[in-house]
Amino acid sequence: MNGNLLVGKVAIVTGAGGGVGQGIAVAMARQGASVVVAARRTETGEPAAAAIRDEGGEAVCLRCDVVSRADVGAVVAATVERYGRLDCMVHNALASTGVPSELQDLADDGIDAMMSTAVRATFSCAQAAYPHLLASGGSYIIISSAAGVEGSSYLPVYSVVKGAQRGFAKSLAREWGPLGIRVNCIGPVALTPAMEAMYVKNPVLEERLVGRTPLGRVGRPDTDIGPVAVFLASDLAQYVTGQTIMTDGGGFLGL
């Protein structure tokens, strides 16, 4: 459903060429935001932006590898040059979690990729967006996970980086709150291409996941996860900061 909660606002969504990031970009555009689809691969990012435009929304794709501080800075600068402002930065991009494995079997390259895209890039996005969010009284949204709270068997690095993101969000909420900038996390569970690939590898995964979810289904990126990002970016959430909203159908109830 289209609306006007974000009319006049400008948002950047990293990793928006598919999955949760694309769902967030779509939901924001449907509520009137001008959206920058920041994607490492334009062959996925441009179709995502084009799909938004086909619905009547405003979107552009800009190539961005979040591991590169220069790329992040360039996307923020290009966004402000094009639209004149930045109201919301959404950091969603993440390297592949890889095959679940025990700690002693983890390879250094997988660890480095997760740390770079989830932890270091979270800092880079914040630093690049800061002066513009300060000017607009905007918000920073980080896509985290319940794994950052309760841990995850055989995905120890994923748990580490998601926990780090939550800690960073809390610290930044304290620092930026007096300046009028809000910082929050979303912990989603959604049916994405990556999730579908996991279903193929593990045919019982879907049944188990749905079985532990009180609402009895896996979320959709655009209609279940995206609206939470819309809320956090909108004036409806003007008194919400430092929080993690678990958007997983009730699968995690530990907060």
Active site residues: 158
Beta carbons of 16 and 68 less than 8 angstroms apart: no
Order of all β-strands in the sheet with 34-39: 58-63, 34-39, 10-14, 88-91, 139-143, 182-188, 244-247
The DSSP code for 105 is G
Beta carbons of 24 and 225 less than 8 angstroms apart: yes
Beta carbons of 109 and 96 less than 8 angstroms apart: no
CA torsion sign, 207 to 228 to 72 to 108? negative
What are the Cα distances from residue 219, in Å, to 67, 73, 191, 206?
28, 32, 6, 12
Beta carbons of 20 and 48 less than 8 angstroms apart: no
